[in-house]
Amino acid sequence: MAFLRLKNVAPGTIVQYTQVLKQFFQFLPAQLDSPRSIQPVHLREYVAAIQTGGTAPKTVSDRVTIFKRFFGYLHAEGLVASDPATRLPQPRIGKRLPKALSLEETEALLLVIPDDPKLGRRDRILFALIYAGGLRAREALNLRVSDLDLEDGSVHVIGKGNKERRVYLKRTVLNALRDYIAAANLDDYLFPGYGGKPMTTRNIELRIKDYAQAAGIRRRVTPHTLRHSIAVHYLQGGAPINFIQTFLGHAKLSTTGRYLQLTDQASKEIALKIGTALDPEPDEKKVVRERRTVWGDSDLVMWDTYLTDVVGWLAS
């Protein structure tokens, strides 16, 4: 775990590694008292046990990854003679698309939050900031007043693995933030909870769930849904994929590529709904088109006469 901390692995990930490895060690026979005693069969038996117990495929795959990294580290450090996880199969899981809201749903969600001076204003600013900045919930809750550059129109964000990025915000969000900070007289955390510490992610997960229900959104909505939504909305608006990668703080472009599949679905709807020259036409439009001059291959006409006829036809 000290090695993971040196690698700037997120604290939540380190906790996950600790819990998974503890559970695995408790599963092992009592006579195994050292990682040197662990054989590939022990790992396969554990994976089979949690799969039989109904553990989700994604969770199983995550645990296999943890085993591979843990025993790979031990082997690299010379603490075990061989790596028992080398040939441990990685369960195949289906790729899940990010859940995103439409523009209309996002507007409805933000508008339904009451603008009362105590909690409503804070929640409206918080969720608008998560959406506008494409922030993870923890990134938003850890923001301090000093992280904002109101003149430059940006916010300094520390993401996973202590990776830093700068996100630029629209003027409406900046103005709302300025008014919110002044009204609440904030000088440390932007969204303080009890005792001056940041709010918890669990707290805002519950709050956005209530707001989504009030807005008439029947599916599950979390703060991360807003992060997915702004990425899709930017892509639909023509933003390049490299901008989205930097904007969201993704280390790999393949991670950002998931959002393209969502915009593909929107493209499908547009392609099927908007009329083209191949679609059946109303009778009145057919009549108009039949009135145009039919030009044969052997007709020799002046170009300006032909162009005038075409323009007149298009205008009709």
So which residues are the catalytic ones?
Answer: 136, 160, 224, 227, 250, 259
Alpha carbon distances (Å) from 80 to 36, 70, 84, 87, 177 = 5, 11, 9, 16, 54
Residue 136's Cβ-side half-sphere holds a number of Cα atoms within 13 Å equal to 12
Task: Write out the two tokens for 190.
Answer: 């932007």
Q: Considering only the C-alpha atoms of the chain, give the largest distance between any 2 of them, rounded to a whole number of Å.
A: 98
Residues 67 and 47: their CA atoms lie apart, in Å, by 10
What is the CA 18 to chain-centroid distance, rounded? 26
Q: Which of 233, 206, 203 is nearest to 221 (CA)?
A: 206
Q: How far is the C-alpha of 196 from the C-alpha of 198, rounded, in Å?
A: 7
| Contact between 182 and 150 (Cβ < 8 Å) | no
Residue 247: C-alpha distances to residues 146, 269, 313 (Å): 20, 27, 47
The DSSP line for 172-195 is HHHHHHHHHHHHHT-SSBSSB-GG
